[in-house]
Amino acid sequence: MYLYERSKQMKPGVVDASISTDGLLDILSKSEVARLLDTSQSGLYRLFRNCSLAVLNSGSYLDDGKELLERYRSFDIRIVQEERGIKLELVGVPAIAFVDDKMIRGIREHLVAVVRDVLYANEELNRFDLNTREGTTDAVFHFLRNAKVLIPQIPNLVVCWGGHSISRDEYDYTKQVGYQLGLRGMNICTGCGPGAMKGPMKGATIGHSKQRIKNGRYVGISEPGIVAAESPNPIVNELVIMPDIEKRLEAFARTGHGFVVFPGGAGTMEEILYLLGVLLHPDNQPIPFPLVLTAPAGAKDYLQRLDQFIGSTLGREAQNQYEIIVHDPEAVARYLASGMQQVKDFRQETDDAYYFNWLLKIERDFQVPFKPTHDNMRSIDLRSDQPKHMLAAGLRRAFSGIVSGNVKDEGIRAIEQHGHFEIVGDREIMEPVDSLLSSFVKQNRMKLSTEDYQPCYRIIR
């Protein structure tokens, strides 16, 4: 059963619950259950608890991990062993997760995904050599396969990136693009949060419905540090929580067949820089990789500023990696459909898998987890006299730290304790960075709650 057994109303908006995982987790042996119980009560407990709270808060517009944890301080989750597997005992659960005394099925599925990815699959990481490029990629593959995301079908998965803090006009545009993609039988993968991550999925559901596509895929790929700030939106029907942001980004790059980028802030810029850095590697030049930057007419200036920033820092070669399309959802979808055919033909010729881009070379600088401490942020290499794909890796780390300082619990607390992150680099790099970030602040692209936004960074040049 998936009904929860209500024990008592703790306080307005908070309840206790007990739910089964029957049918949602693979069959576990007694030793696996014992290991799961031990893991859930050891060093991973805090991570398990925080991610569980985040998915139970799906539908809320809160985008501050620290505030979420403080609002539900009484929340607790425990795994209880049963003969047929495990049961989850929850205390102080956000009432938004229930309707008529029943946990919403989609939220229940997301909660079980937390158990699978944060506890069970995380334990499996010890099997891989994460100090090597190949070992890290194998770990990413294992995570995705364990989540049953890797499906051997013709290329049709479009990764859509963009901000969670966008205008209504921009949000409506993401739905229009998603609708056109859905009409052409393409599935959607996003960072699984609100805004530009939800809009394309919402549009695609209508497109799929009109084409009588009953198995539409709405894949959400997150990671523990961001999931609390961007709880999975209700449309996501395949949720994966990767161990860290670097493996999350590699998961996008390996599974996506085409990419669409909508307006966003620092997080979106981090994703763009990661992808451009990978594509700029000489070994990846022959690989077809359809990438579109698009926005409604009202955000045309945003695209121009973004293109200018990329040209100023990474050069013309980086600008050649993408197509810019303004206010034309059909053109975006047609471009992606054409790109999908190129991806299919290339992978047939090279005997590469449809469901995982093994041929893509991703250097260690894009794989090693970056911890955004004050010392690490100040030590990022942002010199202009280095290969462009390496500069992209450094810029990606800088924007990753800003995301942490904006919305992640650990980053917010670090800023409160030690002050602003300092980002240091050559003037010809830092001036475009400062200009771009200033425009994000003015356009309220940093957070959902934009009142009196205080930057968590200081540019030094």
What's the CATH number where 269 sits? 3.40.50.450
Q: Which amino acid is at 165?
A: S
CA triplet 364, 125, 63: central angle to 5 degrees?
80
Instruction: Specify whether 107 is located in the same domain as 19.
Output: yes
Cβ(257)–Cβ(346) below 8 Å: no
Q: Which residues is 17 bridged to in the sheet?
A: 90
Regarding whether 381 and 333 lie in a shared domain, the answer is no
Q: Note whether 294 and 332 are within 8 A (CB).
A: yes
CB-based contacts of 104-110 (< 8 A; 24+ apart in sequence): 104/234, 105/2, 106/58, 106/234, 106/236, 106/237, 107/55, 107/56, 107/58, 107/234, 108/2, 108/19, 108/24, 109/24, 109/237, 109/239, 110/55, 110/58, 110/232, 110/236, 110/239
Give pLDDT, residue 449: 56
Residue 389 within any structural domain of the chain: yes
For residue 59, the model assigns a pLDDT of 64
Residue 26 predicted with pLDDT over 70: no
| pLDDT > 70? residue 447 | no
- Alpha-carbon gap, residue 224 to 39, rounded angstroms: 16
Is the model's pLDDT at 406 over the cut of 90? Answer: no
Q: How far apart are CA 281 and CA 321, in angstroms?
A: 12
Residues 116 and 153 in one domain: no
Buried b (16+ CB within 10 A) or exposed e, 22-52: eebbeebeeebeeebbebbeeebbebbbbbb
Which of 316, 350, 384 finishes a domain?
Answer: 350
Residue 99, strand partner residues: 102
Tell whether 174 and 234 lie within a shared domain: yes
Is the per-residue pLDDT at 442 higher than 80?
yes
CATH code, domain carrying 27 = 3.30.1850.10
pLDDT score of 229 more than 90 = no
Mean pLDDT check: name the lowest of 51-55, 328-332, 437-441, 451-455. Answer: 451-455
According to DSSP H, which parts of 147-185 are helical? 168-183
Distance CA 67, CA 70 (A): 5
- Residue 62 in this model has a pLDDT that exceeds 60: no
> Is residue 122 domain-shared with residue 145, that is, in the same domain?
no
Q: Is the dihedral of CA 164, 167, 172, 174 positive or negative?
A: negative
This prediction has a pTM of 0.90
- Domain assignment present for residue 92? The answer is yes
Stretch 183-194: mean pLDDT: 95
Per-residue pLDDT of 63-119, as tens digits, reads 555 677 777 888 888 888 877 678 889 998 888 889 888 889 999 999 989 988 888
Residue among 90, 102, 109 at smallest CA distance from 40: 90
* pLDDT at residue 270 greater than cutoff 90: yes
195 and 305 housed in the same domain: yes
User: Are 341 and 193 within one domain?
Assistant: yes
Residue 133 domain flag: no
pLDDT in the model for residue 186: 98
Please indicate, yes or no, if residue 111 is contained in any of the structural domains.
yes
CA distance 123 to 43: 12
Confidence at residue 403, expressed as pLDDT on a 0 to 100 scale: 85
Percentage of the chain exceeding pLDDT 90: 60
Residue 121 has pLDDT above 80, yes or no: no
Residue 24 domain flag:
yes
Residue 60, pLDDT > 70, answer: no
Tell me how many domains the chain contains. Answer: 3
Residue 226: predicted pLDDT? 81
What is the residue range of 404's domain?
Answer: 368-460
Asked if 224 and 264 sit in the same domain, the reply is yes
Check whether 308 has a pLDDT greater than 50: yes
What's the confidence (pLDDT) of residue 64?
A: 57
Residue 212 in tokens: 């009588």
Q: What is the pLDDT of residue 5?
A: 44
Residue 402 inside a domain? The answer is: yes
User: Which of 350, 381, 415 is the C-terminal boundary of a domain?
Assistant: 350
| Residue 425 confidence (pLDDT) above 60 | yes
Same domain, 119 and 145: no
The answer on 215 and 78 residing in a single domain is no
Residue 362 lies in a domain: no
Q: How confident is the prediction for the chain on average, in pLDDT? A: 88
| Beta-bridge partner residues of 241 | 222
Same domain, 55 and 186: no
Please identify, among 127, 148, 174, the residue that sits at the C-terminal boundary of a domain: 127
Indicate whether 389 and 346 sit together in one domain.
Answer: no
Asked if pLDDT for residue 450 goes beyond 60, the answer is no
Is the pLDDT at 458 greater than 70, yes or no? yes
Residue 135 falls within a domain, yes or no? no
Q: How far apart are CA 425 and CA 381, in angstroms?
A: 7
